[in-house]
Amino acid sequence: MVRQLTYEQRIALINKWKNPPGASEQLRLERAERMVKQAVLRHEPFQGLDITVASKGSYPNNTNVRGDSDVDIMVKLNDPIHTEGLAAWWFGQPARYSGPWTRQKLRQEVEDALTNHFGWVDTDHNLAVYVPEVVGSRPSIDVVPCFKWVAYDTTAPDGECVGSVVYGRNGKRVINWPELQLVNGRTKNTNTKYRYKFVVRVLKNVENDLASEGVIKALPSYFSECLIYNVPDDVLLLDGSLDTVVRESLREVYQQLTGAWFSYLGMVEPNGIKKVFGDGQKWTEKDARELIERAWHYLNYEG
């Protein structure tokens, strides 16, 4: 079992962990995003296209921590859009796109653009193109070639939910909702007086410590964000110190994970659409329980 922090150690670390990386780290992240934008927007085959180059994940959501300060950047082609089912009928999409911008061409052009700009890049990953870190200058970068994805939803503004879809080299597709994650995260953070993202950073740092000591397996940093997103606002707004809010947030997550009738199956990602647990996820409910149990012990909330 991992060591336990003393009360004094816990308070000191929570006060440290609640903040994002410092100004120098922020500059490195911004430099990485700017360089990918330059690489893509200067690439001749992309000229005149409706294309979005933007960071996604913990960096734009301001939940990144020092141990996880790489950058995820999407290169999203907005036309043609990709969709299916009712969305295809609603938006009048043809049954099969016959234009030049296939998933293979998009990936190849992104690889070419990055290679021309950075020199060597790693193209062997399933989803992303990996740009190695330059120590002291910028972090490593995962660049994801993707298409605009539209889902029909009568309850959504304008009857649509907009996300992105990336097609892996293994033939499988992954649908994400980075814009919704960004909006929902900012809203929850504002509604909870900025405590939501404070608690997310604390749990991410705890997970990093536990994984480095071999107590749990390493988990995607987004997992901590998913778990804390399901903490009700009133828990995050409890009177008292941030320490109290962290403790009660962990308690609330654990109650959802262990509640009757598989209540954890109702937990949703910060995008408000995808379920936290289910097919296609990189983690399980067991991973979540182990993380919260070990975090509770590590932070010495047992007494």
- Number of neighbouring beta carbons within 10 Å of residue 289: 15
Q: Residue 50 in contact with residue 79, Cβ under 8 Å?
A: yes
Q: Is the pLDDT of residue 114 over 90?
A: yes
Q: How far apart are CA 73 and CA 53, in angstroms?
A: 7
Q: Is the pLDDT of residue 60 over 80?
A: no
Q: Which domains does the chain have, with CATH numbers?
A: 23-176 (3.30.460.10), 183-298 (no CATH)
Go through the chain and tell me how many residues it has.
303
Res 32: pLDDT: 86
- pLDDT tens column, 243-262: 999 999 999 999 999 988 77
Sequence letter at residue 230: N
Mean pLDDT (the chain) is 88
Q: How far apart are CA 195 and CA 242, in angstroms?
A: 8
pTM of the full structure: 0.88
